[in-house]
Amino acid sequence: MNITFRQLRLFLALAETGSVSAAARVMHVTQPTASMQLREVTQAVGLPLYEVISRRVHLTEAGQALARTARAIAGEWDAFEQRVSGAKGLTSGRLKVAVVSTAKYFVPRLLGSFCKLHPHIDISLEVLNRDHVIHRLRSNLDDLYVMSMPPADLPLEDEILMPNPLVVIAPAGHPLAHKKRVTLGHLQAERFILREKGSGTRMATDAHLRQLGFAPGAVLELGSNEAIKESVEGQLGVSIVSRHALGAHHDGLAVLNVQGFPIQSQWHLVWPKGKQLSPIAQVFRAHLMGEVEGWLNGWQ
C-alpha cells in the first residue's frame, strides 16, 4: 500500500472538516488536486473510505480506521518535530485544546500568559458544549481537554485543575438578595433557568437538587450562560451557574446565600489514558497547574 504522508494529512483534514474543499484549504492545495489525491488514497486502500451525502463527507468504517491511523501517525510526527525543535533551542509547534463552554471564562486568560512565554507556538482552542468536547476526546483530536464532568466510561488521565463552585443567582433587586440565610423552600415558587440537559453544570445541579430532595416548580432551559444571565437580569427567574461565569462584575445579578450552596464542583484537565503528551502539551500542562493558584487569588 503506497500512501504518502502528505496524503495521510490530507485525508485527516477531510475527516476533521467533513469537506473536500475545506480539506484542500487546510492543506493549501486546489480542490481538484485534493480530489485527485483522495482518489489515489482510496485506490491504494482498495475499499471505499467515504461517501458524500447532502454535500457532507461521511467516513466509512474503513475510512474511520484510516483516520485513526493517520491521526496517530501525525501525532507521533508532531511530537518528534517538537523534540527536535527543543533540542535546537526552539519553541515552535502546535497545541490543540478543547474546553466546555463555561471554561471560556478563564481558560483564554491562562492561555494568554502561556502565549506571552511562548509566542511562536500556534494554539487551537475549541470551545464547545460537553457532548462535542467528549466526541473530540473519544476521537483523540486534541492534546488536552478541560471540563467539569469527565465521562466515567473513558479511561482518562485526570487532574483537578481548580474549583468550580456553582451558585444560585437572582436579579440584583430580588427580595432575597440581601437575606443572610435563604432556604430552597424560599425558592419553591421561582422559575429555575437552567442549562440544557447533558451540560456539566446541569448534571451537577440535577444531582445536587435530588440529594437535597428539591424539585423546581418550573424550569426554563437555555443553551448558554449569557442567555441565562440576561434572563435572570430580566427577572424571568433564578438560576444555578458556575461562579466563573459571572466574572468580576455582575451588577445586575445577585448571588443568593442559599443553604446547601455553592455546589462544590471541580474543573478537570484530562487526556486519554496512555496518550503520550507532546513536549508542548507537557509544558502547557505544567504552566496551567502552576498558574492556576495565583489566578484564583486574583479572582477571589
The pLDDT of residue 92 is 65
Q: What pLDDT shows up at residue 249?
A: 65
1-70 domain in CATH 1.10.287.70?
A: no
User: Rg for the chain (alpha carbons), in Å?
Assistant: 23
**Could you list the mean pLDDT of each consecutive 10-residue stretch along the chain, which spans 300 residues?**
87 90 90 91 91 86 91 82 62 84 88 85 90 92 93 94 94 91 92 93 94 92 92 94 82 92 94 88 88 63
535546537: which residue's cell? Answer: 88
Q: Three-class SS string for 37-104? A: HHHHHHHHHCCCCEEEECCEEEECHHHHHHHHHHHHHHHHHHHHHHHHHHHCCCCCEEEEEEEEHHHH
Cα–Cα distance, 246 to 166 (Å, whole number): 11
* Residue-level pLDDT at 156: 96
**Domain limits, the chain:** 1-70, 164-265
Phi/psi of residue 20, nearest 5 degrees: -65, -45
CATH of domain 164-265: 3.40.190.290
Determine the pLDDT at residue 106. 87
**What's the confidence (pLDDT) of residue 79?**
75
Residue 77 phi, psi (nearest 5): -65, -45
Q: What is the DSSP letter of 282?
A: H
Neighbours of 134 (CB within 10 A): 21
